[in-house]
Amino acid sequence: MISIIIFINLVVVVVVVVVVVVVVVVVVVVVVVIITIIIIIMSPSLFPSNPANVIVDRMRYSAADAFKAQTFELPREASEGVWSISANFEGSDNKYSETKTVEFEVREYVLPRFSADLKINTDVISRNTGWVEFDVTGKYVYGRNLQGTVEMQLGTWDENDGIRLLPERYGKVLEKGNAKLYAMMSKVFPEASEFPEEKRLYVTVNVTEAGTGENQTLVDTTTILSHPYYKIDFSASDQYFKPGFPFTLKAAIRSQAGKPTPSVPLYAVVIFKDKNGNRIGKKKTYEKADQSSNLVKVYQVSEKTEKMEILVGVLDWMRHVFTDYKHFPEKLKSGTNQYIHISMEKPIGVR
Ligand SMILES: *[C@@H]1O[C@H](CO)[C@@H](O)[C@H](O)[C@H]1NC(C)=O
Ligand SMILES: *[C@@H]1O[C@H](CO)[C@@H](O)[C@H](O)[C@H]1NC(C)=O
Of all ligands present, the nearest one to the C-alpha of 205 is 1
Phi and psi, residue 268, nearest 5°: -130, 130
Q: Which amino acid is at 285?
A: T
**pTM exceeding the 0.75 threshold for the entire prediction:** no
Same domain, 83 and 28: yes
149 lines ligand 1 (CB under 6 A): no
CATH number of domain containing 167:
2.60.40.1940
Higher-confidence position of 196 and 299: 299
Residue count of the chain, please give it.
351
Same domain, 122 and 100: no
Contact between 223 and 123 under an 8 Å Cβ cutoff? The reply is: yes
* Residue 181 forms part of a structural domain: yes
DSSP string, 56-82: ---B---HHHHTS----PPPTTPPSEE
Number of domains in the chain: 3
Boundary (domain end) residue, out of 106, 140, 159? 106
* Residue 249 forms part of a structural domain: yes
User: At 116, is the pLDDT very low, low, confident or very high (cuts 50, 70, 90)?
Assistant: very high
Same domain, 97 and 121: no
Distance from Cα 206 to the centre of ligand 2, integer Å: 9
Boundary (domain end) residue, out of 225, 243, 264? 225
Same domain, 303 and 262: yes
Same domain, 102 and 120: no
Which of 23-32, 37-46, 91-100, 273-282 reaches the highest mean pLDDT?
A: 273-282
Distance from Cα 114 to the centre of ligand 2, integer Å: 15
Same domain, 220 and 245: no
153 lines ligand 1 (CB under 6 A): yes
* Residue 341 forms part of a structural domain: no
- B/e letters for 273-285, b = 16+ CB within 10 Å, e = fewer, are beeeeeeebeeee
Range of the domain at 33: 2-106
User: What is the 3-class SS of 140-161, one letter each residue?
Assistant: ECCCCECCEEEEEEEEEEECCC
**DSSP 3-state of 2:** helix
Whole-number average pLDDT of the chain: 82
Give residue-wise pLDDT tens across range 233-271.
999 999 999 999 999 999 999 998 899 999 999 999 999
Mutation probe of ligand 2 site: the residue of 152, 215, 216, 219 with most atoms within 8 A of C-beta: 215
